[in-house]
Amino acid sequence: MRTIRILISVVCCLLASSIWLAQESEPSSEATQSENVSVLSVGLKGGVGLPQVSSTLETTFYVHLEGTYQFPFWGSRLGLITSLGYSQPTASGSGEDASLPGGEYTWEATQKQLTWDLGLMLKFLEHSSDWNIVAIIGSRLMFVSTLTDGKADDQVFGEHNETATIPGAFVGFQAEYKLGPGVLFGEVTFGSSFQELRTTGVLSVSAIGILAGYRFTFAL
């Protein structure tokens, strides 16, 4: 929780700085009017997730369907962002237990994660710029199913399936470049849950995500 509070503070400082910089600039009224349009975007992004920063889960894949809406004021910088994603990290380990055959056991876990993000986004430059930096902050809801099983002396034991709906939050940054009818972008995010799952060990759903994708944009 301390880590995500620090990240939220950093994002808030950057948002405040970008607002101040925008207010310092004085574009003509005609230019401002031309940039104040509603912008709808939809796209796909994918990459890797690094849950091992806070748990025994290993590197996994991320796939997200993303949509954004930018409000028709202030150069269409401010908007909403939402995404629906899926990942499937795994973990494994071993331990000792004198009551089991051989006195040792191994375990494996597979966690299926369906993620829904909803948040605010702020572009540092007007939406019509060829390139841009985007700050993102918002809520995260995760639907998780964790299957864990163990073996001792080649005998299977202790299979356990844990399901949960877990709230959380995320912060992130995107760097985007206009290409064709949309934008090509890269993204770095950190998401943290407000609770943990306890099966064979502690399996957190906190992770760093490194993704790339493409969004089609439509000015309304």
DSSP assignment string, 103-141: GEEEEEEEEEEEEEEEEEEEESS-TTSSEEEEEEEEEEE
Candidate CATH numbers 3.30.1340.30, 3.40.50.1370, 3.30.300.130, 2.40.160.20; the one for domain 2-22+34-219: 2.40.160.20
Residue ranges of the domains in the chain?
2-22+34-219
Query: Mean pLDDT across the chain, nearest whole number?
Result: 80
Q: How far is it, in rounded angstroms, from Cα 167 to Cα 5?
A: 15
pLDDT at position 63 is: 97
Q: For 126-165, how does the pLDDT look when each residue is reduced to its tens digit (9 = 90+)?
A: 888 999 999 999 999 999 898 887 766 666 666 778 888 8
Mean pLDDT computed over 111-124 = 95
Is the confidence at residue 8, as pLDDT, over 60?
A: no
Q: Which residues contact 170 (CB under 8 A, 6 or more apart)?
A: 117, 119, 136, 137, 138, 139, 140, 189, 190, 191, 192
| Token reading at 144 | 């998780």
Mean pLDDT computed over 16-38 = 52
pLDDT at position 115 is: 94
